[in-house]
């Protein structure tokens, strides 16, 4: 990245924010997954208020980024799609929180 392309120093914390997580729908998904060990598709849909299609699309993006793992299992012969954060996903949401905290702190300092 050339000097012209790199963000000004005061904007550096904002540019550190992961855009994949920063999208409201994916942030909701990541936030819910970060507080539980795992959840199924129905639970995430109810909690986030997303439609089935919207949740599927966003989960796929998070899975492609390696932030979530999706597994299917059978409970009493009923299929259950279990979603959980991977270690990378957990680290990403932690970094996102820290970066956001930094951004907000700097805004308050100004």
Partner 1 sequence: MSQDQDFKRLQQKTYQSYHQDGLIDIIIGLAIIGFGLNIAFDNSAFLFMGWLPIVFYVPLKNRITVPRIGYVKFYASNKLVFGLVITGLLVFMAGLFVFVLLGPSIISDCMQDWLRQYYMLIIASIAALCFLSAGLLTGITRLYVYALLFVLIFSAGTYLEIHPAIYVLLTGSLIEAAGIWLMIVFLRKYQLPAEENAHE
Q: Which residue has the tokens 């012969």?
A: 77
Q: Is 81 in the site for partner 1 (CB under 8 A)?
A: yes
User: H/E element holding 85?
Assistant: strand 78-85
Binders in 51-80 for partner 1, by CB under 8 A = 52, 56, 75-76, 78-80
Residue from the set 16, 20, 25, 32 that interacts with partner 1 by CB under 8 A: 32
Round to whole Å and give the CA distance between 100 and 22. 10
User: How many CB atoms lie under 10 A from the CB of residue 96?
Assistant: 20
Rounded to whole angstroms, the Cα distance separating 92 from 81 reads 23
Q: Which stretch binds partner 1 (CB under 8 A): 6-14, 15-23, 28-36, 60-68?
A: 28-36
Is residue 31 a contact residue for partner 1 (CB under 8 A)?
A: yes
Identify the residue among 14, 17, 20, 38 touching partner 1 (CB under 8 A): 38
Token pair recorded at residue 23: 């999208």
Told to check if 20 binds partner 1 by CB under 8 A, we report: no
């Amino acid at each position: 990245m050339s000097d012209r392309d790199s963000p000004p120093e005061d904007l550096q914390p904002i540019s550190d924010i992961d855009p994949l997580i920063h999208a409201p729908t994916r942030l909701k998904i990541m936030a819910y997954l970060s507080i539980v060990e795992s959840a199924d598709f129905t639970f995430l849909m109810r909690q986030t208020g997303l439609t089935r299609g919207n949740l599927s699309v966003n989960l796929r993006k998070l899975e492609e980024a390696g932030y979530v793992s999706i597994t299917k299992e059978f409970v009493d012969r009923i299929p259950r799609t279990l979603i959980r954060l991977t270690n990378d996903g957990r680290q990403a949401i932690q970094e996102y929180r820290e970066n956001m905290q930094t951004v907000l702190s700097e805004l308050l300092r100004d």
